[in-house]
Amino acid sequence: MTIKVSYKPLKEYVVYKIIKYSSTDELARRTVIEGNPMSHPYLKWINGIAYRLNYPASAFLSENLVEQFLDGIVWVEIEYAEMAKINPSAPEIRLKLENTGIPVLDNSDDVNETELITWLKTNGK
């Protein structure tokens, strides 16, 4: 039996909402509050930006959005805050009030999201 493997790269992000927070603490707090019990909250980091991406809820997915996804077009909401660098020995944001830490993943190797964050730094303000 031979399994076919194909590669269909992402062609476009459509950014439908941008929220910039004044600090990484605010972004991390929002991430914790809006989290769900099925997944651990975390943030990503690329080139001076801590962020998270949100995608349209499945209730809003239309046949048109599904077709766009299959064509390599992804709709996203970006929530972010400036974060000059990530600390490799302790990659998290500590929230004292909530007594928790939010992991921050260095996502610099993701070519697609690096292009998205580069766009955000130039156009998203």
The Cα 16–Cα 62 span in angstroms is 15
pLDDT at 79: 96
pLDDT tens, position by position, 90-119? 788 888 877 788 999 999 999 999 999 999
* pLDDT higher than 80, residue 37: no
pLDDT tens, position by position, 39-82? 889 999 999 999 999 988 764 667 787 888 889 999 999 999 99
The Cα 32–Cα 42 span in angstroms is 8
Tell how far CA 69 is from the center of its chain: 17
Return the CA Rg of the chain.
16
User: What is the pTM assigned to this prediction?
Assistant: 0.87
